[in-house]
Amino acid sequence: MISQGLKLKQQQALSPKQLMLLRLLQLPTTGLEQAVKEELMRNPLLEEDTPKEESLQSIEPTPDTDHYTSDAEEDDYAVYAHNNNPEVYRPEVVSTTSFIESLSRQLELFPLTERQQMIGEQLIGSIDDDGYLSRSPQLIANDMAFKQGIEVEEEEVEAVLRLVQQLDPPGIGARNLQECLSIQLHRIKPQTNTVELATTIVDKYFEAFSKHHYEQLATRLQVSQNDLQAALELIRSLSPRPGPGRVETQNPDNYVVPDFIVTRHDGKLSFYLNDVHLPTLHLSELYTTMLNELSAKSSLTSDERQTQSFLRSHAEAATDFIDNLSQRRDTLSNSMRAIIEYQRDYFLTGDITKLRPMKQEDIAQITGVDTSTISRIVSSKHVQTEFGTFLLKELFTKGLSTEQGEQLSVDTVKHYLSEIVAAEDKRNPLTDDQLLAELSKKGINIARRTISKYRNALDIPTASLRKTL
């Protein structure tokens, strides 16, 4: 028997203007410059101001315009929102497209609805440095419902996730290693016998593969040792971490244009948004006058109505774009100010041990914006300091408690571990158990497997290999 019923649920769709703002927030400085150029070419009602000669002179921010202060100013702390000197902090470097931005651009090639595009951006924002989806589709659906007021079903998220997993590099957006390897294998063309065998092993016998039960695999699959060996070699050639990791900051040939510049002077901290080369935009006076004249007429011809519709829609789009640029600048300024205040000791000293444990939720709570917004802001933005240029997201790190109740960031613990290894006797290097004991002397109590994890992350070999080296 077929039953019918009504089901009410509240849904809220993001407007095109809101979707545009989310995209602009995610763009780094170079990506934003390109977006502005494209918008100027696309919209005839949008024009850029002609720079005046005096605007190229070196001037300091004035208290009435660009000087922002906070309660911390009583402690000799000041923050500036804009860089008014175009000759300063503009390194002639080559910028590369950020990983998140690259995924977003690929996603735009799919014929998605606005709702699917919004889900896709949420999924991409939840991909970690290793390329894995850090939150389940159910949690992502919950996030969108509770934080954005948009009801989506888990099945909708799953459907868009399958599209995200078609993006490059292969394996991106996987939820675990098995899915990551499977995605890569299914995308290999042509599907030879070796590829099909490797796919079967990963999809159906992954546990046996991960435990190195190779004889069991050969028996179950009824294949020769040579065929099995070829399939295993193919699996091992795949990337277990399709994400960028920290390649963007570790590769000395991969230069970037910083989005923020933080400076110190006489114990004071200042920061600048490196957007001085962005043009100031305004509506075209010519087309605005034409639109006003058409709107004032009591009756219009068919051609005039089409012209009026064209001008009105493009005027609204131009106004939205200008407003979003302003809102982006304010949101970035407020977020960076909160981050500097939170990590004030680190920015003053450059000492990694001064880095406090910090989560994106912490900055979201301070600024009053959604955590997903903070994720978009920090995912692809670089900050330039006197002690180096790095991705802003590297300041966000988990914390560990010492015996004294002090909170240390994971990066601080890794720093201590590096110092201990650097000072050891290379003729008799310290084992992981001995490294654990040395950290315990500093009041840091962690598991032995955590020592191994941090050591691998720092590319520190085992004690026997360090002795050989």
3-state secondary structure of 106: helix
CA–CA gap between residue 183 and residue 172 (Å, rounded): 8
Using 50, 70 and 90 to split pLDDT, how confident is the model at 442? confident
Residue 421 pLDDT exceeds 60: yes
- Confidence tier at 389 by pLDDT (50, 70, 90): confident
Q: Could you read off the pLDDT of 125-155 as tens digits, one per residue?
A: 888 878 898 888 888 888 787 766 778 888 9
Q: Tens digits of per-residue pLDDT, 209-229?
A: 887 788 888 888 898 888 888
Average pLDDT, integer, range 188-216: 87
8, 146, 375 from 151: Cα distances, Å: 11, 9, 21
Contacts 24+ apart (CB under 8 A), 53-61: 56/86, 56/87, 58/84, 58/85, 58/87, 58/88, 59/84, 59/85, 60/84
Bond preceding residue 169 cis, omega within 30 of 0: yes
Q: Is residue 311 within 8 Å of residue 79, measured between CB atoms?
A: no
pLDDT over 70 at 322, yes or no = yes
pLDDT above 90 coverage of the chain, percent: 20
Q: What is the pLDDT of residue 314?
A: 92
Nearest residue to 270 via CA among 59, 60, 33 = 60
Indicate if the pLDDT at residue 4 is higher than 70.
no
pLDDT score for 14: 66
Q: What is the pLDDT of residue 56?
A: 31
Give the mean model confidence (pLDDT) for residues 49-77: 41
**Could you count the other beta carbons within 10 Å of the beta carbon of residue 259?**
26
Q: Are 13 and 150 in contact (CB under 8 A)?
A: yes
Strands 407-409, 399-401: pairing is antiparallel
Residue 227 CA to residue 224 CA, distance in Å, equals 5
Round to whole Å and give the CA distance between 181 and 93: 36
Interatomic CA distance for residues 374 and 362, integer angstroms: 10
More confident residue, 122 or 400: 122
Q: What is the mean pLDDT of the chain?
A: 79
Give whole-number Cα distances, 321 to 31, 171, 408, in Å: 15, 35, 42
Cis peptide before 252 (omega within 30 of 0): no
Whether 290 has a pLDDT exceeding 60, the answer reads: yes
pLDDT of 52 higher than 80: no
Strands 382-385 and 388-391: antiparallel
CA distances to 6, 7 from 3, in Å: 10, 13
Phi-psi map region of 222: left, alpha, beta (phi>0 left; psi -120 to 50 alpha): left
Point out which residues pair with 114 in neighbouring strands: none
- Which residues in 41-128 belong to E strands, given as ranges? 46-48, 67-68, 79-80
> Is the pLDDT higher at 71 or at 284?
284
pTM reported for the whole predicted model: 0.53
Q: Which two tokens stand for residue 233?
A: 């070699």
Q: Higher confidence at residue 275 or residue 50?
A: 275
Q: What tens digit of pLDDT does each residue of 78-98 get?
A: 444 444 443 333 343 434 456
- pLDDT on residue 461: 79
- Name which residue leads in pLDDT, 447 or 311: 311
Output 177 or 148, whichever has higher pLDDT. 177
In this prediction, residue 338 carries a pLDDT of 94
Q: CA of 387: how far to CAs of 161, 189, 335, 390, in Å?
A: 39, 46, 21, 10
H/E segment holding residue 118? helix 114-125
Kindly provide the b/e burial profile for residues 310-330, where b requires at least 16 CB atoms within 10 angstroms of the residue's own CB.
ebeebbebbebbbebbeebbe
Answer yes or no: is pLDDT of 323 > 90. yes
pLDDT for position 311: 92
Lowest mean pLDDT among 71-85, 211-225, 284-298, 422-436: 71-85
> Which of 17-31, 64-78, 339-353 has the least mean pLDDT?
64-78
Q: What is the pLDDT of residue 67?
A: 39
pLDDT score of 318:
93
114: its two tokens: 């606005």
Contact in structure between 250 and 394 (CB atoms under 8 Å): no
Closest CA to 362 of 396, 330, 410: 396
Q: Is 234 exposed, middle or buried (0-12, 13-18, 19+ CB in 10 A)?
A: buried
Lowest mean pLDDT segment, chosen from 78-82, 98-102, 336-340: 78-82
Beta strands 407-409 and 46-48, pairing class: unpaired
Token pair, residue 1, equals 């028997």
Per-residue confidence (pLDDT) for residue 77, from 0 to 100: 42
- Give the C-alpha separation, 266 to 269, whole Å: 9
Reduce the secondary structure of 58-81 to three states and give it as a string.
Answer: CCCCCCCCCEECCHHHHHCCCEEC
- Whether residue 247 is predicted with pLDDT greater than 80 in this model: the reply is no
pLDDT of 249 above 60: no
Assign residue 350 a region: left if phi > 0, alpha if psi is -120 to 50, beta otherwise? Answer: left
Distance CA 212, CA 221 (A): 15
3-state secondary structure of 424: coil
Query: What's the pLDDT score for residue 278?
Result: 85
